[in-house]
């Protein structure tokens, strides 16, 4: 009897030890998106729902965000380990906080082209960038398109623009009401928001920044230097798992929206499916993305962006692209070859 009891206790102890060892191998990662749960967030939510993070021994928590600037700041503060943020916002943080000890680093490009565009209603008579001269434009002060507008205006000789600031929910409403002549915003966000306010897509003039001489990168996965130093293997595992998830989303965007719906039950499934497909077509599986490879960047283009953002954002110091980006944690090029041919 005593022998059986001893054996049982030994087996229990072994099971507890094994369970603890497995748990110890799992790395907790707090991840913040750039915005609320919408179609494009399926890239991360589907990866989690399919168990790819779990298979990589990662316990990933994904939270909604309220703008790229906030995501950069929270990763820098240590509140989050990783996040999705506009590369220009990250560059600005580096240049304006040269002595900050924990400046996040971009490790994978997700939106190879900036999603920013200028949008106007056709009835306004605005058709080209030249028609924006002297007009009233509106956007939140932290909007990526508004921040980068000096690059757009320089490339297209636009002058005399007057800006009106508003909270994000009012941007499209103010355009519809005629309070402003045009707005800046992410194409896949503002265009569909205008439709939700009764405007047909055919009645909207869209001037995507990449089509008008602005070759900025968009959103990238950023990581705290603390995680990079303490657990580089976890960063590599995250990016590999994420790449698998993105491949699934590209193959079936409609199915992926179910994972977004699971996180935010009030989303409009049809609208968010269209938003995801628009994001895929314009910034994820774009010609530039296919040329450079998913997740990767071109060094000359990155250097040009660093110079342009330094000028447009009037940063305290010049941006050094080499300190903002590190592609050494990316999966192999074979693993990154996930973009369908057009």
According to the model, what pLDDT value does residue 4 have? Answer: 53
Buried b / exposed e across 278-302, counting CB within 10 Å, b at 16+? bbbebbbbbebbeebbbbebbeebb
- Looking at residues 301-323, what average pLDDT do you find? 95
Average pLDDT, the chain: 93
Q: pLDDT band for 25, please (50, 70, 90 cuts).
A: confident
According to the model, what pLDDT value does residue 6 have? Answer: 47
Q: Is the pLDDT of residue 9 over 90?
A: no
Q: pLDDT band for 306, please (50, 70, 90 cuts).
A: very high
CA–CA dist 229, 102 (Å, integer):
11
SS3 content of the chain, % helix, strand, coil (to 5): 55, 15, 30
CA–CA dist 23, 32 (Å, integer):
23
Q: Is the pLDDT of residue 1 over 60?
A: no
CA–CA dist 249, 281 (Å, integer):
13
According to the model, what pLDDT value does residue 86 have? Answer: 96
Q: Is the pLDDT of residue 20 over 50?
A: no
According to the model, what pLDDT value does residue 5 have? Answer: 53
CA–CA dist 146, 169 (Å, integer):
16
* Residue-range domains of the chain with CATH: 27-113+217-336 (3.40.190.10), 116-212 (3.40.190.10)
According to the model, what pLDDT value does residue 341 have? Answer: 85
Give the Cα-Cα-Cα angle 55, 297, 221 (nearest 5 degrees).
Answer: 40
According to the model, what pLDDT value does residue 222 have? Answer: 98
- Looking at residues 75-100, what average pLDDT do you find? 97
Buried b / exposed e across 114-131, counting CB within 10 Å, b at 16+? bbbbbbbbeeeebeebeb
Does this model's pTM top 0.85? My answer is yes
Q: Is the pLDDT of residue 41 over 50?
A: yes
What would the pLDDT profile of 181-231 be if each residue is shown by its tens digit?
999 999 999 999 999 999 999 999 999 999 999 999 999 999 999 999 999
Q: Is the pLDDT of residue 12 over 90?
A: no
Task: Give how far Cα 80 sits from Cα of 70, 73, 88, 218, 246, Å.
Answer: 11, 9, 19, 20, 22
- Looking at residues 12-19, what average pLDDT do you find? 46
Task: Say which DSSP state 26 is in.
Answer: P
Q: Which of 72, 165, 110 is nearest to 276 (CA)?
A: 110
Rounded percentage of the chain residues whose pLDDT exceeds 90: 91
What would the pLDDT profile of 88-147 be if each residue is shown by its tens digit?
999 999 999 999 999 999 999 999 999 999 999 999 999 999 999 999 999 999 899 999
Report yes or no: 271 and 188 within 8 Å, Cβ to Cβ.
Answer: no
Task: Say which DSSP state 160 is in.
Answer: -
């Amino acid at each position: 009897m005593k022998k059986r009891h001893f054996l049982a206790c030994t087996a229990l102890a072994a099971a507890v030890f094994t369970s603890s060892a497995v748990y110890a191998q799992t790395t907790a990662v707090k991840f913040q998106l750039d915005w609320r749960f919408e179609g494009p967030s399926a890239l991360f939510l589907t990866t989690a729902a399919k168990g790819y993070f779990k298979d990589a021994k990662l316990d990933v928590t994904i939270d909604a965000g309220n703008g790229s600037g906030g995501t950069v700041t929270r990763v820098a503060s240590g509140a989050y380990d990783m996040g999705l943020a506009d590369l220009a916002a990250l560059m600005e943080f580096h240049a304006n906080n040269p002595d900050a000890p924990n400046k996040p680093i971009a490790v994978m490009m997700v939106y190879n082209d900036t999603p920013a565009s200028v949008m106007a209603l056709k009835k306004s008579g605005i058709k080209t960038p030249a028609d924006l001269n002297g007009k009233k434009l509106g956007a939140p002060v932290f909007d990526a398109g508004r921040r980068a507008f000096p690059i757009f205006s320089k490339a297209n000789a636009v002058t005399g623009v007057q800006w009106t600031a508003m909270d994000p929910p009012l941007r499209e409403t103010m355009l519809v009401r005629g309070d402003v002549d045009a707005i800046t915003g992410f194409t896949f966000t503002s265009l569909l928001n205008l439709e939700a306010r009764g405007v047909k897509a055919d009645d909207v003039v869209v001037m995507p920044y990449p089509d008008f001489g602005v070759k900025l990168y968009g959103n990238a996965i950023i990581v705290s230097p603390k995680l990079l130093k303490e657990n580089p293997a976890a960063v590599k595992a995250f990016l590999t798992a994420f790449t698998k998830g993105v491949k699934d989303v590209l193959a079936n965007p409609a199915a992926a929206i179910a994972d977004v719906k699971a996180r935010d039950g009030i989303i409009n499934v049809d609208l968010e499916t269209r938003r995801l497909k628009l994001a895929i077509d314009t910034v994820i599986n774009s010609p530039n993305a296919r040329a450079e490879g998913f997740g990767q960047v071109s060094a000359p283009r990155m250097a040009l962006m660093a110079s342009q953002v330094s000028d447009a954002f009037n940063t305290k110091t010049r941006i050094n692209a080499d300190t903002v980006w590190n592609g050494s944690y990316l999966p192999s090029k074979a693993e990154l070859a996930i973009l369908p041919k057009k």
